[in-house]
């Protein structure tokens, strides 16, 4: 099979940090065009809108949509309608309904739709899933606390409705938890803290359980200075398991049992190529459903205004 002609829409931080090097290292893809109002990539034909790009470049086979989630649906719909395969950055959209509509369209068009969850491809996630599959789990505690000023400086979209606020990183934790736990969990109580000048939360405290009443407590906070935490701790009959550093390291009873170099985006592009070759899609909305549930069931608290 010849290389898949790929285009990127929304050239920004994650494209430069992760997509470009991962695409360059993957012989299944050839980057042939970009569509972005301002961003461009050296040596690649640039358009300022997806309409102009799709009109001018009929050889495009697939597009990666990397703009903020509030603006992704329209571009995804146009790309699928034109018969292109589509890679959605996380979160796959601003609402569940729009992503469901994209799934229907992808099926009708016989095109691949890939709702990517990069944290699921963190190095120690599969080893953790295997550990938990045979463990008696007593409780799970998710601690995802980071400094928004460091990680998202001046990203206005992230604070606007649909930008998800602290759920932008929090959904990464949820994408891991929903993958590694043997049984589905659901929200039973939660509190969301909204800065009085913002549409999206700066912190969330969530309590889930599953059919066996397993307690899963998730704490997301964007006000963390000093040490940052992206950890999932499970108390099990075999001892304490810690999946730390965003899924990079697995320790059991304080002993490091698995770690490997980070390769999330190379893995995502390998998966996208596999899906295209197999003629299938991969759209798991569980992480986004939990966020929607938090907005439905969570209590709202207003806290002091946030300024970058």
Binding residues among 140-169 for ligand NAP as defined by CB under 6 A: 155, 157, 168
Check 13, 30, 84, 90 and give the catalytic one: 90
Contact segment (CB under 6 A) with ligand NAP among 68-76, 79-87, 196-204, 208-216 equals 68-76
Binding residues among 7-36 for ligand NAP as defined by CB under 6 A: 10-14, 36
Binding residues among 165-224 for ligand NAP as defined by CB under 6 A: 168
Q: Are 79 and 86 in contact (CB under 8 A)?
A: yes
Which is closer to ligand NAP, CB of 118 or CB of 120? 118
User: With b meaning 16 or more CB within 10 Å and e meaning fewer, what string describes 131-159?
Assistant: bbeebebeebebbbbbebeeebeebebbb
- The verdict on whether 13 is a catalytic residue reads no
Determine the Cα–Cα distance for residues 76 and 78; give it in Å rounded to an integer: 5
Which is closer to ligand NAP, CB of 140 or CB of 202? 202
Which is closer to ligand NAP, CB of 234 or CB of 247? 247
Out of 66, 80, 99, 125, which residue is the one contacting ligand NAP (CB under 6 A)?
A: 66
Does the protein bind ligand NAP through residue 90 (CB under 6 A)?
Answer: yes
DSSP structure string for 218-246: EEEESB--SS-EEEEEEEETTEEEEEETT
Helix axes 286-297, 96-109, angle to 10 degrees: 150
SS3 (DSSP) at 301: strand
Query: Nearest-CA neighbor of 295 among 130, 127, 105, 91?
Result: 91
Out of 1, 2, 38, 183, which residue is the one contacting ligand NAP (CB under 6 A)?
A: 38
Binding site for ligand NAP (CB under 6 A): 10-14, 36-39, 66-69, 71, 89-90, 118, 155, 157, 168
């Amino acid at each position: 099979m010849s290389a898949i002609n790929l285009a990127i829409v929304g050239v920004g931080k994650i494209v430069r940090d992760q997509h470009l090097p991962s695409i360059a290292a993957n012989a299944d893809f050839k980057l042939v065009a970009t569509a972005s109002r301002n961003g461009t990539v050296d040596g690649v034909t640039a358009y300022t809108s997806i309409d102009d790009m799709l009109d001018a470049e009929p050889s495009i086979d697939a597009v990666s949509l990397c703009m903020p989630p509030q603006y992704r649906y329209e571009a995804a719909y146009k790309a699928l309608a034109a018969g292109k395969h589509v890679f959605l950055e996380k979160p796959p959209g601003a609402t569940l309904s729009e992503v469901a509509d994209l799934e229907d369209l992808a099926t009708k068009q016989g095109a691949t739709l890939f709702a990517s969850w990069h944290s699921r491809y963190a190095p120690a996630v599969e080893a953790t899933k295997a550990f938990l599959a045979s463990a008696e789990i007593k409780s799970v505690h998710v601690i995802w606390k980071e400094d928004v000023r460091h990680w998202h400086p001046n990203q206005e979209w992230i604070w606007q409705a649909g930008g998800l606020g602290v759920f932008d990183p929090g959904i990464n934790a949820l994408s891991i938890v929903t993958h590694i736990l043997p049984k589905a969990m659901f929200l039973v109580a939660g509190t969301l803290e909204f800065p009085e000048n913002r549409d999206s939360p700066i912190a969330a405290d969530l309590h889930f359980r599953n059919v066996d009443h397993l307690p899963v407590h998730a704490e997301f906070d964007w006000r963390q200075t000093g040490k940052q935490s992206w950890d999932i701790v499970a108390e099990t009959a075999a001892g304490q398991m810690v999946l730390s550093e965003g899924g990079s390291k697995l320790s059991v009873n304080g002993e490091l049992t698995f770690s490997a170099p980070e390769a999330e985006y190379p893995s995502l592009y390998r998966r996208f190529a596999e899906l295209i070759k197999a003629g299938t899609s991969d759209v798991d909305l569980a992480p986004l459903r939990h966020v929607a549930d938090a907005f439905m069931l969570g209590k709202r608290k207003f806290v002091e205004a946030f300024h970058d």
